[in-house]
Amino acid sequence: MATETENGVAAPALAAMSAALFFGASVVATRFVVGETGAVTLAFLRFAIGTACIASIAVVTSGVGIRRKDIPATLALGALFFGVFPWLFSQSLLFIPASVGAIILATMPVLTLVMAALVGIEALTRNKLIGTGLAFAGVAIAVASPGSFAGMTGVDLWIGAALMLATSLCGAIYNVFSRPFLQRNNSIAFTTVSMMSGAAFLLPFAAFEAAMVGLPAISTSGLLAVLFLGTLGGGIGFYLWIWALQRTTPTKVAIFVTLNPIAAIGLAVLLLGEPFRPIIALGLVLVLAGIVCVSVPMRAKGPAA
């Protein structure tokens, strides 16, 4: 299996960066169309399309080979990352602007680092503790002035923030606990099985939502947003993410989530007409500062004179 040593760091970094930009755009696409589809239906459509997309890649590349003993864990991780994660993600964007949601989702690298430290993969250092505090301070500041967002109450903002933080936690769990399975299995096969598990998990909930409120009436522009979410923001984006996770550490991949709010805020201002307010910029700066802090290793002290 390919390793970081064999490939260098450029290819995994480029894959993770591309995926992160697709995910940043997905925040805006989700915010745009979720009102037409409903949260769980949108999540299901995204990963039903994504499953078809990644299965096509598997057929073309003969991407087969997942160990039988790893299938239960792969299914569970898939239900979490491709089921619970997108459901919470879509639901949160019914309450909060895309710009705020992207900032909160950018805490994923910090949560990944802390979780990796708790399970013994990485050491929990002073830098990581300080960085965690900075990142969460940035999130608090970003949602601290509900009056900044017309038509949204303080309760809506805090519900949306809690849901997006839970989304970020799901991503951190996947980043950390999927790595041993990725090291043993083909990345395309792992992604395909995981994504199928997520779509299967969402199907009964999407069917229930459709039975309660009827089938969604999606506009042409909304349909294009759904197709983007299923392809670049779904199958292709997550395959690139998992491919990078297979070849380097969770921390080095998760750090690229910092690109999410940059892409999402720019697109939200341009396409959704969301205001770019100073408090959003301050929250983003604190989150980025926190991520930089946890990512820079502490210098070892020299020997005593």
Taking only the tens place, the pLDDT of each residue in 239-254 is 888 888 777 777 667 7
Confidence class for position 295, pLDDT limits 50, 70, 90: low
For the cut 80, the answer to whether the pLDDT of residue 74 exceeds it is: yes
Residue 150 has pLDDT above 60, yes or no: no
pLDDT band at 56 (very low <50, low <70, confident <90, very high): confident
- How much is the pLDDT for 286? 80
**Of 133-142, 159-168, 181-190, highest mean pLDDT:** 159-168
Please report the pLDDT score of residue 25 as a whole number.
87
Check if the beta carbon of residue 64 is closer than 8 Å to that of residue 181: no
- Give mean pLDDT, residues 119-144: 73
* Amino acid, single-letter form, for residue 175: N
Average pLDDT value over all residues in the chain: 78
**pLDDT value at position 154?**
67
pLDDT of 302 > 50? The answer is no
pLDDT exceeds 90 at position 76: yes
Region of poorest pLDDT, from 4-18, 118-132, 263-277 = 4-18
Q: Which of 4-18, 52-66, 88-102, 249-263 holds the top average pLDDT?
A: 88-102
Predicted pLDDT of residue 163? 92
Looking at residue 143, its pLDDT comes to 59
Task: Please report, as a single letter, which amino acid is at residue 219.
Answer: S
Model confidence at 95, pLDDT cuts 50, 70, 90, reads confident
Could you give the percent of the chain with pLDDT greater than 90? 13
Residue 1, pLDDT > 50, answer: no
- Inform me whether the pLDDT recorded for 271 exceeds 80: no
For residue 288, pLDDT over 80 is answered with no
Q: What does the pLDDT read at residue 144?
A: 60
Across the range 273-298, mean pLDDT stands at 72
Distance in angstroms (rounded) separating the CA atoms of residues 269 and 289: 23
pLDDT at 298 (0 to 100): 56
4-15: average pLDDT: 65
Q: Is the pLDDT of residue 214 over 60?
A: yes
- What value does the mean pLDDT take over residues 60-88? 84
pLDDT-above-70 percentage for the chain: 81
The span from the CA of 282 to the CA of 23, in Å, is 22
What's residue 304's pLDDT?
42
pLDDT of residue 4: 44
- As to burial, measured by CB atoms within 10 angstroms (0-12 exposed, 13-18 middle, 19+ buried), residue 262 is middle
Name the residue ranges covered by the structural domains of the chain.
4-295
